[in-house]
Amino acid sequence: MQTSGSKLTLWGERYLFSPSPFQKLLSYSLLPLTALYCAAVTLKRKRAEPEKFEVPIISVGNLTVGGSGKTPFCIALAKRYENSAVILRGYKRKSKGLIVVSEKGKILTDVKKSGDEAMLYAKSLKNASVIVSEDRKKAIRKALELKSEVIFLDDGFSKSNIEKFDILLEPFKEFENGFCLPSGPYREPKSFKKYANLVLKEKVDFQREVKIKNPTEDMILVTAISKPQRLDPFLPPLKAKIYFPDHYFFKKEELRKLVKDFKASSILTTQKDAVKMQGYGIELSVLELEMKIANRVLEKVDDFINNFGKIP
């Protein structure tokens, strides 16, 4: 089952990642715009003058639109360090400007102001501060005010005006459509991989492990994430799957109606979705995702942090 907004979203995702013959024709027709787009992002990167800050900054990003595991990967890294900060835009939040979502584990705002991803960070990281801001440099300066000793940028690869250690995540299987926007899913040309300090492939350098917290007999899946079909390998038998547009803020009444209509014993959802469903008085089963990162990768990140600022 899909909502009307989700049907359009899923059509767009098929167009970007695995287009039908008609969608391929549409993609090819937009190639002149894609050429202009690629020229603009290339010029932006070439003109950028990276600013260096006084603490190590690690960016976790990818080249495409949509989910790639950046958030759980960043959580897994940040958990390893005391007094860290995580900075992100706070996509689809109901607020503007800079907001300190949590300070050293103490949550200071609500999920509507923070956005779902930032609240997941805040709930997952007890020794970190979480900041949302459209202006990443402003957020970095705020993190320095909070005495953060290491900073993680969620989705920061394109921020070429910041000096940082760039980790680029790639899916195990290449996408069918290799074009940049608007003809394909790439936000920057694939050749930009050369700018990353580490290029990591799923199932080789990192892998997801999923378990279900509080499973019940008659569950329905309700989620608002990009490419929701990527959950399928981790799902048990379900009464229904209901998809909402990415980052959608659920309403209590619509969730209760879904539980009643499908005679469900609980709603199965992701950790990112669950932070927007809490307090609704609805039984939740949660897909808890943990990212396992290869030791050789962790050692390289440690080496960057431990040697930051030292004269070579």
Is residue 284 a contact partner of residue 299, using CB atoms and an 8 Å limit? no
* Domain span(s) for CATH 3.40.50 in the chain: 46-206+292-305, 208-290
C-alpha closest to that of 202 among 174, 181, 227:
174
Q: What are phi and psi of 218, to 5 degrees?
A: -120, 85
pLDDT of residue 2: 53
pLDDT of residue 3: 54
DSSP-derived secondary structure for 207-257: EEEEEEES--SSEEEEE--SSGGGGGGG----SEEEE--TT----HHHHHH
Distance CA 64, CA 178 (A): 10
Cis status of the peptide bond prior to 182, with omega within 30 of 0: yes
Buried (b) or exposed (e) across 109-144, using 16+ Cβ within 10 A? bebebbbbbbbbbbbbbeebbbbbbeebeebbebbe
Domain 46-206+292-305 is of which CATH architecture? 3-Layer(aba) Sandwich (3.40)
pLDDT of residue 310: 76
Cα diameter, the chain = 65
Full-model pTM:
0.92
Is residue 78 a contact partner of residue 149, using CB atoms and an 8 Å limit? no
Distance CA 203, CA 172 (A): 6
Total count of residues recorded for the chain: 312
Q: Token match 């899909």: residue? A: 2
Neighbours of 250 (CB within 10 A): 19
pLDDT of residue 53: 97
Q: What is the pLDDT along the chain (312 residues), one digit of tens a residue?
A: 555 456 777 788 889 988 999 999 999 999 999 999 999 999 999 999 999 999 999 999 999 987 778 999 999 999 999 999 999 999 999 999 999 999 999 999 999 999 999 999 999 999 999 999 999 999 999 999 999 999 999 999 999 999 999 999 999 888 889 999 999 999 999 999 999 999 999 999 999 999 999 999 999 999 999 888 889 999 999 999 999 988 999 999 999 999 999 999 999 999 999 999 999 999 999 999 999 999 999 999 999 999 997 765
Q: Token match 């070439």: residue? A: 46
Task: Pick 208-290's CATH classification: 3.40.50, 3.30.9, 1.10.3470, 3.30.230.
Answer: 3.40.50
